[in-house]
Amino acid sequence: MIFGRLVQCLTHSRTDTAMNASFTIGCLCGSEQSRCLILAEAKEQKLVSGLETLLSNDPESEPGQTACFALSCLASKDDGHALLMESPSLPGLLDGLLRLLKSGDPDSTWFAAMTVRVFVSRPNGVTRVREHSALEEQLKCLSVSPSTGSELQEELSACLRKLKRLPKPSPVNVQHQSMVCIASWERLEPESGLEVTYNLFDGDTPMYRGPRCQITLPHSHFQHKLSLSLRLNLCTSDGDTSPFSEHVEVRVEGVELRPRPPKDLRFISCTATEVRLKWAGPEGDIKPLSFQVYCDDVLLETTRELGATVSSLSPDTTYTISICALGPGHTSSSRCSSLIHTADGQEHAPSGLVVSVLGCHKLQIIWDAPAVPIGRLFSYELRLNGFVVYLGKERMHKACHLTTNTPYICTVTAITSRGRYQSRAVTKRTTTDEYLNTNRGFYSPKRQDLAPLPARQKREVKNRTRKLLSTPTSDSALRKNKHRLPSVMVQSHVPGKNKSSRVTSEEKSVGLVSELDATVQLSNTKGSSDVGMVPSERLIMQRRDCNEHTLRSSLHPIHPRPKINPDCRAEKATSDKGRLPLINQQINHHHNIHRKRLVMGSRVNSRRKGGL
């Protein structure tokens, strides 16, 4: 509360009141506890603004002197100094100090010089005072004035030492050692307290920038030049830069000389397959003998010109183009590289690609010439699914003998003297064969495979077939189903002669002959996907039983006995009792008297057999 009243008094209309308030604030800053309280409320109470008003607006010198006293006491500590340097009222304070320096009053001039000395006691104060060039010039003028007293001269000298600019540094000291050179220089510590940055140059080329005062130069620095011209300059954070030191020539004997890399690599033009590039020669004393052009680390050519053309590139592809310089003794510089992306090349490729489907085995492909031809055209290359099917200069082709219901990816490439340019791909599918799985003539080609069944129907067919195949086939089962087998009429033949018996359609239907084995029929049924081809269960069982019965009979050296069902036997007995005796017992194949084969033939044969 009291401090707020003091700040208000700084702007009071009565000069004595303002001077007393300023003097009181300066005295309070001498106590650490009071100074902390003042700094805590300085921004809120606008202390610096009140001191600026007292310093600048009063035409008398005494109020300015009391304001300088308060400012010097406040800036004597780091926190108070930072408060003043960061205040927006600082430019007004510096203008008020400049007015006092020009007033001609020795006391006012001394108070102003003393306040400036406190301001420049820290690096950030030096920077802010240097920005007010008129104030620094007035200090220099007073320092050389003969009317300046000793006390004022002491304050002025202290201010000017703090504000002094960086001097010209001493020449660089170079020491030669094994494979290296050590360059060093003197360290400079200015009274301003600002940090100094050292810059080492080889001519106009920077070699080092930093706070150190020594660097090591390997002999590789001398590969591109016959000698180095070292010089040094200094700089600070506020932009103060010293003059350059004297040049120091450094030369190393026995070092292999290498040229510097080319510079200013640029691309003149870029197409889908070709790039034209230019570059500038390297700097330094070593002149290159030639240049090498690389594309993705592959050496393309060696030229003496400052340009080259890279061809045979792929469209829409990124490449790394590098250039290096060759010096004496086949020495090479580092590479100068740049990335380049070729065009897509569609304007140089065949256009208007049209693919027409002419059937299930044929496609017709038509295309136009490139919209922007480049180079000399050699031929067109047509590919279907990656395979070359045509190579020539015609712009139409019919592809035959293709697979039905198959997609084909068609591309046409123009092969020119400037490279290959491929068109955009077009996909077409051949049609489905309309005559698939139909009956064909005798000389028709082999029919194609049936279309696959749905998974559910295929599973039902397999389960049904597996169940039929797992039916027991023991002798008891054969005897049980024996009465279900139909009678068979077999054509008799003379034993020993190679004459096959005639097989009737009834035998084929039930599968009694070996050519239509029931087991084979079932295996064929498994591989087939047509449900309509699966025979009935009864027919399959009949074929299976008869096939196994025939197999057992074939193990004996006699012919199979004929099967005569009871109805046929009764009918024959009624119609021709005297000619054919009734068979009352089952023919046993193991009796020699019945080893003759019995057949049912014509009436003449029956009459002969009846007479025996």
Over residues 115-157, the pLDDT tens digits come to: 999 999 999 999 999 999 899 999 999 989 888 889 999 999 9
The superfamily (CATH) of domain 266-342 is Immunoglobulins (2.60.40.10)
Indicate whether this model's pTM tops 0.75. no
Same fold, 1-163 and 266-342: no
Query: What does CATH list as the number for 1-163?
Result: 1.25.10.10
What is the reported pLDDT for 39? Answer: 78
Q: How confident is the model at residue 210 (pLDDT cuts 50, 70, 90)?
A: very high
Sign of the alpha-carbon dihedral angle for 145, 149, 152, 155: positive
Residues 6+ positions from 190 with CB-CB distance below 8 Å = 164, 166, 196, 236
Q: What pLDDT digit, counting tens, does each position of 307-333 carry?
A: 999 988 887 889 999 999 988 777 788
- Whose tokens are 């590139």? That residue is 313
The pLDDT-based confidence of 493 (bands split at 50, 70, 90) is: very low
Candidate from 50-64, 188-202, 316-330 with smallest mean pLDDT: 50-64
**Average of per-residue pLDDT across 51-61:** 74
pLDDT-derived band at 550 (thresholds 50, 70, 90) equals low
Locus of tokens 């200013």: 264
pLDDT for res 580: 45
Q: What is the pLDDT of residue 295?
A: 92
The residue ranking higher by pLDDT, 562 or 516, is 562
What pLDDT score does 180 carry?
A: 80
- Indicate the DSSP class of residue 304: S
- Provide the token pair at 583: 């068979």
Please, which pLDDT band fits residue 251 given cuts at 50, 70 and 90?
confident
Q: How many residues does the chain have?
A: 612
**Quick one: which of 33, 32, 103, 97 has its CA closest to 67?**
97
* Residue pair 221/187 in contact by the 8 Å Cβ criterion: no
Lowest-confidence region among 217-226, 341-350, 402-411, 475-484: 475-484
The top-level CATH class assigned to 173-251 is mainly beta
Q: What's the pLDDT score for residue 486?
A: 47
% of residues, the chain, pLDDT over 90? 28
The overall average pLDDT reported for the chain is: 76
The pLDDT-based confidence of 507 (bands split at 50, 70, 90) is very low
> Beta strand 387-392 with 377-384: parallel, antiparallel or unpaired?
antiparallel
Give the per-residue pLDDT at 258.
Answer: 74
CATH class as words, domain 346-429 = mainly beta
pLDDT exceeds cutoff 70 at 243: yes
pLDDT mean over 188-217? 90
Alpha-carbon separation of residue 89 from 43, 92, 168, 175 (angstroms): 11, 5, 35, 53
- Mean pLDDT for 552-578 is 54
**Digit-coded pLDDT (tens) for 423-466:** 889 999 999 877 655 544 343 444 445 556 567 677 777 787 77
- The crossing angle, in degrees rounded to 10, of helices 518-527 and 455-469 is 160
Domains in the chain: boundaries? 1-163, 173-251, 266-342, 346-429
pLDDT-derived band at 334 (thresholds 50, 70, 90) equals confident
Percent of the chain with pLDDT over 70: 68
- What is the separation of C-alpha 375 from the centre of its chain, rounded to a whole number of angstroms? 34
pLDDT at 169: 92
What are the distances in angstroms from CA 40 to CA 33, 34, 93, 231, 453?
11, 10, 21, 50, 94
pLDDT of residue 392: 93
Q: Average the pLDDT over 541-568 and give the result.
A: 54
Predicted local confidence at residue 23, as pLDDT: 84
Question: In which residue are the tokens 């400036």 written?
Answer: 116
Exposure on the CB side of residue 316, measured as CA atoms within 13 A: 10
pLDDT given for residue 498 in this prediction: 42
pLDDT at 181: 83
